[in-house]
Amino acid sequence: MVRVIAGIARGTLLKTRKGEGTRPTSDKVKGALFNILGPVLTGTLFLDLFAGSGAIGIEALSRGTALAVFVEKEFLAVRDMKANLEKTGFTSQSRVLKMDVTRALGLLGRERSSFTHIFMDPPYGNSSLIDSVLKDIWQNQLLQRRGVVIVEHGAGNCSWKPGPFDLYRQRIYGDTALSFLRASEKGEIFS
């Protein structure tokens, strides 16, 4: 059972789908993530990649994020996400892109969108996908100055490269890791 754990939608149960490649973030990991981010969400712009049911972006909205953009390509997950946004009353503060993450990042780049927080929860065990998404975030200039990219990944999968980002914090919760990245002062590009 997945629920909103804090903020104005606290306690709302969210519709999720297990299996078929979907792995909802546990309340423990979600709570830790938002405890680390702290009270800095008010008025921010949040991008939720590989969004699934939308639980992470909805949690951000519940805690004060001004706008959340959700990217998910699976039809059933998008259907659940839209139902969750309606149930929590966040439809007007959200945008759902039903498409592949690479295509969505290109679209957002062309629109000159930028975000304070970018959260991604790609399928575990795919380091090259993490590398590719970080490259697309950088090339499309989607992260605001002093913004944060958060990668949820398998605790045993730390072989991906942060590229032009600096890893400034990493926490492990069982088989799940949260890695927090900021734009590198060096601004190195991917090789």
pLDDT per residue over 32-75, tens digit each? 999 999 877 899 999 999 999 999 999 999 999 999 999 999 99
pLDDT surpasses 90 at 191: no
- pLDDT at position 85 is 98
Greater confidence (129 vs 105) lies with 105
pLDDT surpasses 80 at 8: yes
Q: Is the pTM here over 0.85, yes or no?
A: yes
- At 141 the three-state DSSP class reads coil
CATH superfamily of 2-183: Vaccinia Virus protein VP39 (3.40.50.150)
Q: How far apart are CA 155 and CA 162, in angstroms?
A: 16
Q: How confident is the model at residue 190 (pLDDT cuts 50, 70, 90)?
A: very low
Domain ranges of the chain: 2-183
pLDDT per residue over 90-117, tens digit each? 999 999 999 999 999 999 999 999 999 9
pLDDT per residue over 131-156, tens digit each? 999 999 999 999 998 899 999 998 88
- pLDDT at position 156 is 80
In terms of C-beta distances under 8 Å and separation of at least 24 residues, what long-range contacts does 174-180 make, across chains too? 176/25, 176/26, 176/29, 176/152, 177/152, 177/153, 178/29, 178/32, 178/33, 178/36, 178/150, 178/151, 178/152, 179/150, 179/151, 179/153, 180/36, 180/148, 180/149, 180/150
pLDDT per residue over 67-84, tens digit each? 999 999 999 999 999 999
pLDDT surpasses 60 at 30: yes
At a CB cut-off of 8 Å and minimum separation 6, what does 145 contact? 183
pLDDT per residue over 151-180, tens digit each? 999 888 777 778 789 999 999 999 899 999
